[in-house]
Amino acid sequence: MASSYTTLCLILILSQSLPSSSSSQETSFLDQKPTAYEILGDYNFPKGMLPKGVVGYSLDTTTGRFSAFLNGSCSFSLEGSYQLSYKSSVNGYISQGRLSRLEGVSVKVFFMWVDIVEVLRNGDDLEFSVGIAGAGFPIDNFEECPQCGCGLNCGGAKRKASKIRSNPFVSSS
């Protein structure tokens, strides 16, 4: 009787120490790195802040320093009012509701390109700063990720009209 009890205990101990196929799948699922779009959500920003096609990112959670990497530079128009340009690497600092010291994102204002240097979340609006001027937009304008080359109007599909105004970057903030 003692022998069978000892055998049973050994089987239980061994079965607990050996990884089962379901627990290793759960572990690998939990170990997956979130996407750059999911990281934006963690900091209270919509995924449409970045265009489709981000191939990687880095984030230092202690300082907030981040980089998002695209497969080359990217530009597109939004609603016929704005031309945006992303370099192959977008860098800056991220914290709850704030992207600061941005590098790699530009908007065309009249005839010149200016860098977007900061984005703040203010309730249901996003406020973009180009240094001396800024503009605010409803956050629901950024629910979808734009696509390089065609923005939100790709493949002949027109996006429903949004609340993007013609160039508000001309007024100072």
Q: Grade residue 77 by pLDDT with cuts at 50, 70 and 90.
A: confident
Average pLDDT of the chain, as a whole number: 78
2 or 99, greater pLDDT: 99
CB 48 within 8 A of CB 141: yes
- Which of helix, strand or coil describes residue 33? coil
Evaluate if pTM is beyond 0.85.
Answer: no
Determine how many CB atoms are found less than 10 A away from the CB of residue 132.
9
Band (171; pLDDT cuts 50, 70, 90): very low
| CB distance 145 to 50 below 8 Å | yes
**Is the model more confident about 158 or about 34?**
34
- Determine the average pLDDT of the residues in 127-131: 93
pLDDT of residue 20: 40
Q: Which residues contact 109 (CB under 8 A, 6 or more apart)?
A: 130, 133, 167, 169, 170
pLDDT at 30: 57
| CATH architecture of the domain covering 36-164 | Roll (2.30)
Which tens digit of pLDDT belongs to each residue from 36-61?
999 999 999 999 999 999 999 999 99
